[in-house]
Amino acid sequence: MERVLVVLVAVAVVAAIAAVVRRRTAPDPPTQSSWSVPAQLDRADFDRPDAPWLVAVFSSASCLSCRGTWAKAEQLASAEVAVEEVEAGARAELHQRYGIDAVPCLVVADHAGVVRASFLGEPSSADLWATVAELREPGSTPPGCDHGAA
C-alpha cells in the first residue's frame, strides 16, 4: 500500500511540474494592433473649408508610402474636392489633435467634417478614386465592388 501511495504522489508532482513548464513555454497570443482614425474633422483646420469634400493625407516626411499616397490623392483635387497634406513635422498639432498614430492615414470627409472613408497605409489608385467617386455620387461604383475603405 505504501508503494502505491508513493507512486501516486510522484505522479502528482510530475503532473504539476509539467503544467508549470507548459504554462511558461506557451507562446503569447498574437497582439492586435489598432490604429486610430478620426471620425470627425473640424473643417476650419484645413484649407478650403467650404469645399463639399476634403481628402486629408496625414503623413511624415520620412515615410516612403506617404509620398505615394500623396501623389495619388493630389490628383483628386477639384472645385468639389479639397486635398491637403498634413505632414507630421510641419503640423504636429493636428496629428495630436486627431490622434493620428500611424501614417499614411488618408481620410475623406464631407462638408460637415464627418469622415466617410479612410485608408491606413498606401491605397491603390483604383481603390482611392473609386471610393471618392462613390461618396460624391452614390451608385457610380458597380454593385459588388468593395474597395476596402474603412
Q: What is the pLDDT of residues 46-102, one digit of tens each?
A: 999 999 999 999 999 999 999 999 999 999 999 999 999 999 999 999 999 999 999
Quick check: pTM over 0.95?
no
Q: Is 31 helix (H, G, I), strand (E, B) or coil?
A: coil
Q: Which domains does the chain have, with CATH numbers?
A: 43-136 (3.40.30.10)
Taking the mean position of all CA atoms in its chain, how far away is CA 16?
44
3, 7, 114, 117 from 13: Cα distances, Å: 15, 10, 62, 58
